[in-house]
Structure 1
Amino acid sequence: MTSLKLNGQGLGRIVKALRCTYWGLKAAYKGEAAFRQELALAFILFPISFFIADTAMHWLALIVVILLVLVVELLNSAIEALTDRVSTELHILSGRAKDMGSAAVSLALLIAALVWGVSIYQAVRPYW
């Protein structure tokens, strides 16, 4: 039988991971305007999702694409922070890394807009 260890294994590892998650979300909220904007959008769209979704799977799709945007924004912010930490001087590879992170956020937003747009269209279509 395994015991719950608090020394970096088992439960301790989970607690440490949750602490790091908290610090990461807090840092993103404090330091990244785009993350705050996307989080505000998520809080607005979350209650709306209950009125738009026809099924539990439809609701899940609406929520997952919102979370996808937040995840990609966190990864983009991490890439930007690490790139700036390594060097603040202009370099083609640093610029490329930042541009690709930005492109990933844009694609995630496009996916979310498509899913939400089609869902809203289907929800209001019967009233036209």
Structure 2
Amino acid sequence: MKPGRTGITRIIYAAGYSIKGLKAAWQFEAAFRQEVCLAAILTAGSFFLDVTLLEQLFMIATLVIIILVELINSAIEAAIDRIGSEMHELSGRAKDIGSAAVFVACCFAAFSWVIILFN
């Protein structure tokens, strides 16, 4: 049995796979591109707001959460699509739940920004 990669070699390969995943998300997922662009704009804009450093960090963190959830949702959708193209109730449910997770993350971010900005 061949031993797996360990130490720094494993970390280097894992980082490479992660970068490959980010590139794939950017290339194939329009929602991911839109959310990254919006997050970049809002993050840049947050530096001009009259908020504390901790509030700014929290606001940016909510944007990162959206991107994380979108990556997971895209992975779920890709796996479902790999299984087959025929319509199935469970496949649709999995995709809908993934989409709902992104929606909840977006609502949380919007709510957080409003509370911080108008409090």
TM norm structure 1: 0.85
Shift of the 107–53 alpha-carbon distance from structure 1 to 2, 3 Å rule, reads farther
**Displacement of 1:28 after TM fit?**
0.4
What percent identity do the matched residue pairs reach?
47
Q: CA deviation at 1:50?
A: 1.8
Partner of 1:92: 89
CA deviation after TM superposition for structure 1 residue 19, in Å = 0.5
Structure 2, gaps ≥5 residues long: none
Between the aligned partners of 1:109 and 1:89, the Cα distance in structure 2 is: 30
- Equivalent in the alignment of 1:14: 11
> How many pairs are equivalent?
116
> 3-state SS of the aligned residue for 1:57?
helix
Residue 68 (structure 1) aligned with residue 77 (structure 2): no
Report deviation, 1:71.
0.3
1:35 equivalent in structure 2: 32
Runs of at least 5 residues in structure 1 that lack an aligned partner in the other structure? 1-6, 123-128
- Cα distance in structure 2, aligned partners of 1:38 and 1:12: 32
**Bigger relative contact order (CA 8 A; separation at least 6):** 2
Q: How far apart, in 2, do the equivalents of 1:54 and 1:120 lie? A: 8
Contact 2:51/2:117 (8 A) holds in 1 = no
What code does the residue aligned with 1:27 have? A
Q: Note if contact 1:35-1:70 (Cα within 8 Å) is conserved in structure 2.
A: yes
Q: Deviations over 1:53-104 (max 9, x none)?
A: 6322212101110000000000000000000001111000000000000000
Per-residue Cα deviation, 1:40-62 (whole angstroms, up to 9, x for no partner): 00110111112226322212101
Taking only aligned residues, the RMSD between alpha carbons, in angstroms, comes to 1.3
Aligned-partner Cα distance in 2 for 1:30–1:96: 25
Q: TM-score, normalised by structure 2?
A: 0.91
Out of 18, 23, 32, which is 2:20 matched to? 23
